[in-house]
Amino acid sequence: MNKFEVVKCIDMKESDYDGPCVILGCKSDPSMLLFFPVNKDSSKMINYVLDEDNEYDINTNVLGIYKTMIDSWNASDRFLSGIIMDNIWDEEIKDDILSIRLAISDQSGEIDSMVHVNFLHAILLSAMQDVGIIISDRLLSKMVPDNDEDEDEEEKPKKKKIPHFPEDKKIVDIAKKIMSGKTKE
């Protein structure tokens, strides 16, 4: 498992993807960055939260919902202790899907519950609470670009086709393309 933190959102214009991305930086290896596509409104909101000069409370438009959620956990002596991203097999569609869960712990540090959320909720809560995101080795290996992309097609060994993620608009596939550094032709 690898722990990442939300760094910031940027606009990508020179890669296979043209649009805003959120960057997750690996805490143990600063040279490893993951790029995930997000929409413009989400990127502005994430950067707003990451800017230390900005303040937000329960009256701050959409962020107020997240602040209320955090306040309710605190009121019941609970807190967000971690965020876990993994891929799981979905028997109905016969494919892997992205699974993101929040670990909510009690004051003694024991996990009280695991709550499934979508990608944006996880990123915003991670940024608001300065909580790391743990990405499983299995998911990370699916997102890292292949090292042998420059080999001739004939020299490449036949690989088993890796399943795509049908949810979150193929976010993992887009992230892999961004991280491979391929430019548009």
Q: What is the pLDDT of residue 159?
A: 44
Cβ proximity of 50 and 23 under 8 Å: no
Residue-level pLDDT at 26 = 92
Tell me the average confidence (pLDDT) per consecutive run of 10 residues in the chain, 185 residues long.
90 81 91 90 90 72 86 92 91 87 92 92 93 92 66 46 48 73 57
Please name which of 1, 131, 2 lies closest in space to residue 66, comparing C-alpha atoms. 131
Global model pTM greater than 0.75:
no
pLDDT of residue 182: 60
CATH node for 2-146+159-180: 3.10.690.10
What pLDDT does residue 147 have?
A: 56
Angle at the Cα of 64 from the Cα atoms of 83 and 132, rounded to 5 degrees? 20
CA distance 183 to 150: 14
Tokens found for residue 139: 């998911």
What's the rounded Cα separation, in Å, for the pair 164 and 145?
A: 14
Sequence-distant contacts of 7-10: CB under 8 A, at least 24 apart: 7/33, 7/50, 8/46, 8/47, 8/50, 9/38, 9/42, 9/43, 9/44, 9/46, 9/47
Cα distances from 131 to residues 13, 80, 170, in angstroms, run 29, 8, 25
Q: How do the domains of the chain map onto residue ranges?
A: 2-146+159-180
The confidence score (pLDDT) of residue 164 equals: 42
- From CA 13, how far away is CA 16, in angstroms rounded? 8
Q: What is the pLDDT of residue 142?
A: 83
- Please tell me the predicted confidence (pLDDT) of residue 176: 73
